[in-house]
Amino acid sequence: MPKFWREEATMAEEPSRRRRLVKNPDTFREKVQRSSETSAKPGWLRRLLGPIFRPLGKALRTIFKLKPLAVILKVLRRTVRFIVPGYFVNSWRELRLVTWPNWKQSRQLTFAVLVFAIVFGAAIAAVDYGLDKIFRNVLLK
C-alpha cells in the first residue's frame, strides 16, 4: 500500500469491522518534488557550468556538514560553565528574556516614578512636620 494512503473508519460502522482507504492530501514538499520531477531539462548554461561547479558544491556541503566551529563552541561553552559561577550564567539568561520598553513607554514610566517620588516625599515631610509639632508641644511643655 502506498504511504500516501491511510485507513479511515466509516462513520456508520464500527472502526474494527470495516475500513476504507482515503488519500492524504499532498504536502508542500511532495508538490515541490513532483513539480521539479516534471520540469524541463536544465538550460544550456547550467549544462555547461554544471561539471565545473558540481565538485565545488559537493566539497562545500561536506565542509559545512562537519561544522568545525560547532566543536569549538561546544568546548568553549563547557569551559565557561565550569569557570563562571552559575549565578552569573542564570543572570545572563534572565537578562536575555527581558523585553525593554520603547522610548514612549520609558518617558511615561520615568514621569510616573518622578511623580510618585515627589508625592511620597511630600507625604513623609508632612507627617514628619506634624509629628515634630505634636512632640514639641506635648513633651517640651
- Predicted TM-score (pTM) of this structure: 0.35
Together in a domain, 86 and 111: no
- Dihedral sign, Cα of residue 38, residue 41, residue 46, residue 50: positive
For the chain, state the CA radius of gyration: 37
Give, as one character, the DSSP assignment of residue 39.
S
Taking only the tens place, the pLDDT of each residue in 53-112 is 777 777 767 766 666 677 777 777 777 777 777 788 788 889 888 888 899 999 999 999
Over residues 23-37, mean pLDDT: 71
**pLDDT value at position 87?**
82
Which of the four pLDDT bands, split at 50, 70 and 90, describes residue 7? low
Asked if residue 19 has pLDDT above 60, the reply is yes
Taking only the tens place, the pLDDT of each residue in 118-128 is 999 999 999 99
Together in a domain, 64 and 77: yes
Residue 58 lies inside a defined structural domain of this protein:
yes
**pLDDT value at position 105?**
94
Question: Could you give the C-alpha distances from 103 to 88, 100, 116, in angstroms and in order?
Answer: 28, 10, 20
Together in a domain, 68 and 81: yes
Residue 68 lies inside a defined structural domain of this protein:
yes
Lowest mean pLDDT, pick from 16-20, 42-46, 132-136: 16-20
Together in a domain, 75 and 105: no
Together in a domain, 62 and 85: yes
Q: Which domain holds residue 112?
A: 101-141
**3-state secondary structure (DSSP) of residue 107:** helix
Which of the four pLDDT bands, split at 50, 70 and 90, describes residue 38? low
**3-state secondary structure (DSSP) of residue 21:** strand
**pLDDT value at position 63?**
67
